Chains A and B, each alone.
Chain A
Amino acid sequence: MIRFERVSVRYEGTERPTLSGVDLTVPEGELVLLVGPSGVGKSTLLGTVSGLVPHFTGGLLSGRVTVDSRDTRTHKPRELADLVGTVGQDPLAHFVTDTVEDELAYGMESLGLAPDVMRRRVEETLDLLGLAELRDRPIATLSGGQQQRVAIGSVLTPHPKVLVLDEPTSALDPAAAEEVLAVLQRLVHDLGTTVLMAEHRLERVVQYADQVVLLPAPGAAPVMGPPAGIMKVSPVRPPVVELGLLAGWDPLPLSVRDARRGAGGLRERLADASPPEAPGAPPASEQPGAAVPVRTGVAPASGPGSAAAPVPVAAAERSRPGRLARLLGQGRDRTGSPGTSGASATPAADPVTRVDGLGVRRGRVEALRRVTLTVAPGETVALMGRNGAGKSTLLGALVGMIEPTAGTVRVGGLAPARTDPRAMVRRVGLVPQEPRDLLYADTVAAECAAADRDAGAAEGTCRALVSELLPGVGDDTHPRDLSEGQRLALALALVLTGRPPLLLLDEPTRGLDYAAKARLVGVLRGLAAEGHAIVLATHDVELAAELAHRVVILADGEVVADGPTGRVVVSSPAFAPQTAKILAPQEWLTVSQVRGALEAGA
């Protein structure tokens, strides 16, 4: 269906081609997954199929791409519109009209289909994607998953033979991602659509793929093959594959279901070992609180109790009978009446932040209701919940961008919304969803100098942080030329210049590949060990499992679960990481835990 013949693409002003030597054939009716580290040219490869590369983006394409024997060199994107449907990374950038039904019809109107055909196809597509309830709604009022489905629907109505998707699930919560993937599955199975898709979050998609195309490095020739074979050699792979390789399973499992079938032996080997208490983070007992290595010069929180704080919480939870009782108990403890025995350990460390009965209203919408939360120094808390549950709002309230309508927020003893931003910078730092928002200057050096001034830090503080988090980036680099992961690291360094004891991150792994994510995890663990309290809002269950001591789940603006990561996520079908699903009922969260246990046992 799609043939690449010796395709290479080079953009103006670059030394080497972004893509080269691509020789592939994508057969009809298959779901082909494109994988590879960031910046290897996945989006460029996808762009050549719809003709946007090079007709729209510029650059030089040599070789030949044919889609259903139409040559993209001679056909402009608009002349391929009836054949190829393209959905980019950001669905909002895709929409031309303002309501769902008009959006679905837009492509067909451009192609000049007869009105009765358009009407029929819109109705069919509304049903296929489960959008019938939303047909009259303005697109701006939809949730992320709904928008992504509308975007897919809008390219489906002209009945394209090929669907090209760039990271369709990256911005979605786990449930919404499954929604979208179920739709794609249905298109491939029922309609014989050919789907070519790039995605970083392999744990979500790899089991649906018929073939995988691996782009190993920038400019390197791609490798195509069956998923299991490619995953063995791929530099990026999901936890289920890691676990399979670790345990030596053959054939390599790609889905949790396959893995569970073969996991009996591994579960037996692990039966005697028990997962570490504070998952992901170095066990707290190994860190004598007073001797915390202070690398970035953070005030060593507050005495010995601080770094050890998470553990007593976990221990206290253990002793409680039921999960519900535990949650309720926890809620009571945090409102300030430590009646029960174990919980008295928590307030021992002075909390970095204390949120009490917080409510936030926006117009008529109650974004947060009665949220109560304390975070101790050295503790990492993951905020989870579906899109729109109030995660970002809570972070906004903590950093002072949003004024509470009820309850109190205290960060380092101050109310963030009423305090001068210059004072808050030294108490709390937020890396927003779009790290680019924080960057104004033309060069990394200028950015650093500004950050030092803003935070009143000694000259060179920020630059030192940047060198540590982002080695090998020159002073003159323009922030816009950095990759997604590098930009995040730069924003993190800027925020850390004020040495805030409380660090907040909003969706830090969006658009990061596994390598960048692993670096981020390393950095954040180091910061937590130094006594920084970290709160991250994320959809990424694997990240939460790696990093968080505690998980707080928000739904409709309320805290519905708050407890140690293991306890909260293992029992949840949506928020459990793959390792936990495979090895349930044992409480292993990450592959590295399992590896550690196996090595210890061997």
Chain B
Amino acid sequence: MTASPASAPARLLRRALRAPEADRANALPAGAWWLWALGLATAASRTTNPLLLGLLVGVAGYVVAARRTDAPWARSYGAFVKLGLFVVALRLVFSVLLGSSIPGSHTVLTLPELPLPDWAQGVRIGGRVTAEQLVFSLYEGMKLATLLICVGAANALANPARLLKSLPGALYEAGVAVVVAMTFAPNMVADVVRLRTARRLRGRPTGGVRAVAQIGLPVLEGALERSVAVAASMDARGYGRTAQVPAAVRHTTNVLTLGGLLGVCAGTYGLLAAQGAVYGLPLLLASLVTAMAGLRLGGRRSVRTRYRPDRWGVRAWLVACSGAAVAAAMIWAGAVDPEALRPGVVPLTAPVLPLWPAAAALIGLLPALVAPVPPSNRAVADRPVRRGKEQA
């Protein structure tokens, strides 16, 4: 509560720490967000403590709320949360119907049990439902849901197109194809909406099987036409231009890539088959390296350059490392104090929030402080004209 002005170094430090407004130049690489989210997900996979899981969900949710833009892909977070809740519910339903191997003494209810033949021994449908079993399924379901929500957070924060941009040169064109395919789906949805309204204009009901059948063909037709138009545009703008490479390099590329891929197949087979475990792993690794070298060399054929690739600055490292730190702390806590991370269900005990792992989970909030702030919703003022037209 001192009124004295902060000292000069402190002010400088605070200015340096304050997150700048996000723009193209300081945008965090998509990879940083994914590392952060995967860190949180790894941490979540190490615990079934509902309090810790809740904390992790809260951390991810807070960062999304603080740092997501109003771009279309940012809306996917809500969908992932719903998916998570669905997973929890599903897990509980299955547990109630199919029973569980968890021994328990607190019977909640007893369902009529379906008599099954001998060969289905070990499977049970219906029967006694215990509180222990329900709590166990709830914990497991929450773990899965938390994983999903972490992935959803990465999806909402990082532009998927940018992520594809960081592919190696030889795979770039495949990446573009994927991006174009991804824009295909929303366009088709818009088409369906437009054609349904057009049906209304002809005085036909918009629902029903017949409506879907009649709309289907024009929608596919429209989607196909659009793809052809985009392909023409890409062609006219130099997509797929290749550089002249010496024949030797070309052949080497082919041999390396093909050989590498074959090796990967053989190695994987070796790993999975019972007797090949000795040579499986080394073969797999060696052929992976070969395939990578082939791809690398193949990149020479592509003349592409990259416009303003994302830069890994201090902030990107901080974001990525905060996720890694959470994961590391949780793994370490799992080794030191497994009881706290996996609260017992037999006998039933109230879960306790372990202090140190919880504090470590809070490190995941760092991005909400250091990541550049997305600009306020200035795009709202200029509304999406075209989309409006299509709905009309």
Contacts and interface: CB of A to CB of B under 8 A. Distances in A.
Interface of A: 50-52, 55-57, 76-82, 84, 86, 88, 90, 92-98, 101-102, 105-115, 118-119, 122, 135-138, 140-144, 147, 154-155, 158, 362, 364-365, 367, 387-388, 392-393, 395-396, 399-402, 421-422, 424-426, 429-430, 432-434, 436-438, 440, 450-451, 454-455, 494-495, 498, 506
A206 B161 CA distance: 41
B200 A400 contact: yes
Interface string B353-392: 0000000000000000000000100011011111111011
Interface in B197-225: 197-206, 214, 217-218
A76 to B, nearest CB: 8
Nearest to A557: B383
A494 B202 contact: yes
B244 interface: no
A108 to B, nearest CB: 7
A72 to B, nearest CB: 12
B60 interface: no
B291 interface: no
Contacts of B384: 140-141
30 contacts: A51-B236, A78-B237, A78-B241, A81-B241, A93-B226, A94-B230, A96-B180, A96-B239, A102-B307, A105-B308, A109-B307, A110-B240, A112-B241, A115-B307, A118-B305, A138-B379, A140-B386, A142-B382, A142-B385, A362-B391, A365-B383, A387-B385, A396-B197, A396-B392, A421-B202, A422-B203, A437-B218, A438-B202, A454-B204, A506-B392
B229 interface: yes
B22 to A, nearest CB: 9
A86 B389 contact: no
Contact of A440 (B214, B235, B240): B214
A362 B391 CA distance: 10
A437 B234 CA distance: 27
A101 B305 contact: no
Nearest to A86: B236
A112 B304 contact: yes
A98 B229 contact: no
B250 interface: no
Contacts of B15: none
Please list the 8 inter-chain residue pairs (A to B) with the smallest Cβ-Cβ separation, ordered nearest first.
A425-B203, A81-B238, A110-B238, A112-B303, A105-B307, A93-B229, A388-B385, A437-B198
B204 A401 contact: no
B49 to A, nearest CB: 39
B194 interface: yes
B251 interface: no
B232 interface: yes
Contacts of A421: 199-206
A167 to B, nearest CB: 14
Interface in B55-83: 71-72
A362 B183 CA distance: 22
A388 B388 contact: yes
A395 B392 contact: yes
A110 B241 CA distance: 7
Nearest to A393: B392
A433 B386 CA distance: 12
A432 B392 CA distance: 9
A354 B307 CA distance: 54
A454 B387 contact: no
A450 B198 CA distance: 14
Given A109-B306, A135-B24, A88 B201 contact: no
Interface in B125-172: 159, 161
Given A86-B236, A113-B305, A388 B383 contact: yes
Nearest to A106: B237
B392 A392 contact: yes
A110 B304 contact: yes
B176 interface: yes
Contacts of B231: 56
Given A118-B307, A141-B379, A437-B194, A393 B237 contact: no
A135 B236 CA distance: 23
Nearest to A451: B202
B194 A111 contact: no
A138 B201 contact: no
A537 B200 CA distance: 19
A206 B205 CA distance: 47
Given A108-B305, A112-B305, A425-B202, 17 more contacts: A81-B236, A93-B229, A98-B183, A102-B161, A110-B241, A118-B307, A136-B24, A140-B386, A141-B382, A365-B388, A367-B383, A399-B200, A400-B200, A402-B392, A422-B205, A454-B202, A506-B392
Contacts of B23: 136
B105 interface: no
A437 B243 CA distance: 44
A144 B303 CA distance: 33
A80 B375 CA distance: 39
A108 B307 contact: yes
Contacts of B243: 112
B386 to A, nearest CB: 7
Contacts of B308: 101, 105, 115, 118-119
A115 B304 CA distance: 10
Nearest to A47: B232
B256 interface: no
B176 A96 contact: yes
B203 A392 contact: no
A555 to B, nearest CB: 14
B233 interface: yes
Given A98-B183, A396-B392, A451-B202, A82 B233 contact: no
B307 A122 contact: yes
B195 interface: yes
A92 B386 contact: yes
Contacts of B204: 421-422, 454
A135 B229 CA distance: 24
Task: Please indicate which of the listed interface residues A136, A365, A399 has the most CB atoms of chain B within 10 Å of its own CB.
Answer: A136
Contacts of A115: 305-308
B237 A110 contact: yes
A154 B237 contact: yes
A80 B159 CA distance: 31
B214 to A, nearest CB: 5
Contact of B239 (A110, A113, A122, A399): A110
A407 to B, nearest CB: 18
A144 B205 contact: no
B201 A495 contact: yes
Contact of A430 (B201, B241, B303): B201
A101 B24 contact: yes
A56 B304 contact: no
A82 to B, nearest CB: 7
Given A401-B200, A424-B203, A495-B201, A392 B389 contact: yes
Nearest to B389: A392
A88 B202 contact: no
A155 B236 CA distance: 9
Contacts of A494: 202
A440 B218 contact: yes
B161 A98 contact: yes
A392 B388 contact: yes
B203 to A, nearest CB: 3
